[in-house]
Amino acid sequence: MQARLGKVYLIGAGPGDPELLTLKAVRALAQVDVALVDDLVDRRVLEHAPDARVIAVGKRGGCKSTPQAFIERLMVRLATRGNIVARVKGGDPFVFGRGAEEAMAMARAGVPCEVIPGITAGTGVCAVLGVPLTHRGYTHGVTFVTGHTRSGAGPDWAALARAGTTLVIYMGMRRLPEIAGALMTAGMDASMPAAAVQHGTTQQQRHVIATLATLADSSRNAGLGSPALIVIGKVVGLADQVARIDAERRAVA
């Protein structure tokens, strides 16, 4: 007997706060048989998938994690056996993380795959922090880059400094001194406002607002670690002029 072919929903769960899940994700989760969930996703998201068997396949920087190839094989196997599978990832599936590789693996295996976008940390965290990423008086745009690269060769920091967009750096905490140095060497002002935000949008949010020159020390002194988002640009300096209801969130500096 041949099982009916299942389907994969590749779901972005947003930056942290479980209420930043979309209605579309909620509707998909209600149908799933199995949910493969990253460690950093708040478990309350799974309340929308009451019938799902939950498999934690998370990755955490520096810790033991499920190999990517294993995750992809598991997704294919579950779907070809007729399951509706949710692959639940933090942020947006196509902004860092391996959503692209997973979607392409499903395509190669002939497994139907629907991508449900989520709010990436770069926008979600800045909205809550009061950093207006693209304020037209200060910049033409925003760049999201990774500070952690496979080859070790990172982004072209000199070109990014020259481009003048607000910079949002994912997975950059460990290399922060080196990144800040590269930007200053490229001519970015040492006094450029800069922030680091850990657990952004959640009740555990902690952040530091400093300058390009001081952010690494300030973050270390405040005990901020990975995973955290780094934001660099004039718009960071506007945060205290932006109204925030949630000023009770804990600022460590």
Stretch that binds a second copy, among 21-29, 175-183, 204-212, 215-223 (CB under 8 A): 21-29
Determine how β-strand 34-37 pairs with β-strand 84-89: parallel
Of 206, 188, 210, the residue nearest 197 (C-alpha): 206
Beta bridge pairs of residue 229: 170, 197
- Identify whether 192 is a catalytic site residue: no
Strand-pairing partners, residue 12, are: 89
**Phi and psi for 222 in degrees, rounded to 5?**
-85, -5
Half-sphere exposure in the Cβ direction for 166 (13 Å, CA): 28
Binding mask 165-204 for a second copy (x = CB under 8 A): x-----------------------------------x---
Site residues (CB under 8 A) for a second copy, limited to 73-132: 92-96, 98-101, 103-104, 106-108, 111-120, 123-124, 126-128, 130-132
Q: What is the phi-psi region of residue 187: left when phi exceeds 0, alpha when psi lies from -120 to 50, beta otherwise?
A: left
How near is the Cβ of 31 to a second copy at its closest, in Å? 13
Residues numbered 214 to 243 that lie near a second copy (CB under 8 A) are 235, 238, 241-243
Check: CB of residue 191 under 8 Å from CB of residue 213: yes
- Tokens 């399951």 map to which residue? 83
Of 131 and 208, nearer to a second copy (C-beta) is 131
Q: Which of 171, 173, 188, 192 is catalytic?
A: 171
Residue 51 interacts with a second copy (CB under 8 A): yes or no: no
Return the amino acid letter for 110.
Answer: G
- In the complex, least distance from residue 102 CB atom to a second copy, rounded to whole angstroms: 9
Catalytic residue among 7, 17, 42, 59: 59
Q: Prior bond to 67 cis, omega within 30?
A: no
* Side-by-side strand order, sheet with 166-170: 166-170, 228-232, 193-198, 206-211
Q: Is 59 a catalytic residue?
A: yes
Site for a second copy in 136-165 (CB under 8 A): 136, 140-146, 149-150, 154-156, 159-160, 162-165
Indicate the residue among 3 and 107 with the shorter CB distance to a second copy: 107
Residue 38 is a catalytic residue: yes
**Least distance from C-beta 3 to a second copy, angstroms?**
19
Residues annotated as catalytic (active site), given as ranges: 38, 59, 171
